[in-house]
Amino acid sequence: MMKRWTRSALFALMLAAAACSPRERTLVLLSTNDMHAKIQNFPQLAAAVTACRDTVPDALLVDAGDRWTGNAYVDLAPTPGMPIIALMNRLGYDAAT
């Protein structure tokens, strides 16, 4: 009876250890910055991001800032910065500063 219990406990311990073993993961970080409201470049950016996310679905897309001004359509929008924000939201940015 003791051998059976010991084997069962050892088997359970091995299963728990296998579940806790470290797994290697790759972090893919896509970053933009200094876009200066160049909304005309978003189709190319969207194509590149989509191609990357087709390969690495968990890739993170972040922006490091300086995106608001530089294009009259964005600069004169009724809601400041809104065209660029809407495009970034459609593209699925994970974070922006």
pLDDT in tens, 79-93: 877 888 899 999 999
The pTM of this model reads 0.70
pLDDT at 30: 96
Residue 97 has pLDDT above 70, yes or no: yes
% of the chain at pLDDT higher than 70:
94
**pLDDT tens readout for residues 36-73:** 888 899 999 999 999 999 999 999 999 998 888 888 87
Question: Distance between CA atoms of 81 and 55, rounded to whole angstroms?
Answer: 31
Question: Distance between CA atoms of 17 and 15, rounded to whole angstroms?
Answer: 5
The DSSP bridge partners found for residue 30 are 61
Residue 11 has pLDDT above 80, yes or no: no
**Both tokens of residue 45?**
């950016």
Closest to 62 in 3D by CA, of 27, 22, 38, 15: 27
60: enclosing H helix or E strand:
strand 60-63
Question: Distance between CA atoms of 19 and 6, rounded to whole angstroms?
Answer: 20
